Amino acid sequence: MKNYLTVYMIIISVFSCTIYSQNEKTINIPDKNKVGYSDIDPLKTYERVIEKGYKSADMLKKIGNAYYFKEELDKAAKWYKELFSLSTITDLEPEYYFRYARSLKSINQNDEANEMMKIFNQKNEANTEKN
């Protein structure tokens, strides 16, 4: 009799533990419009910092690339123009000339876009000759 009582107590305790642990959990699904699931939009932050006069080539590359890859080419063209207007930029990678040209084409500035594509082709040829 004592053995049966022990077995019943073990069974009851196992089932009560599993029943207790099966509480329904709520899952918070993040908003898809938030970048990186945070409340801070990095693009807006970069824009505010640049408007205050603190701009660097790296920051302009990041914001231009972000808009370029989001297919907001009019905004990308604005930031690539800022990047190319910096006097400290002497030799950008060829892809920036291509991206700037594509962005300019999207806002119907075809003459400038063609000039950027010429520079892109020259730089691209120079890179293939080096390799």
Encoded tokens for 82? 């800022």
**What domains lie within the chain, and their CATH numbers?**
41-131 (1.25.40.10)
Q: What is the pLDDT of residues 18-58, one digit of tens each?
A: 555 555 666 666 555 555 556 678 888 889 998 898 888 88
Q: What is the pLDDT of residues 6-22, one digit of tens each?
A: 877 787 777 666 555 55
In DSSP notation, 25-61 reads PP-PPPPTTSGGGSS--HHHHHHHHHHTT---HHHHH
What is this structure's pTM?
Answer: 0.66
Q: What is the pLDDT of residues 56-74, one digit of tens each?
A: 888 999 999 999 999 999 9
Encoded tokens for 81? 């123009």
Q: What is the pLDDT of residues 107-131, one digit of tens each?
A: 999 999 999 999 899 888 877 777 6
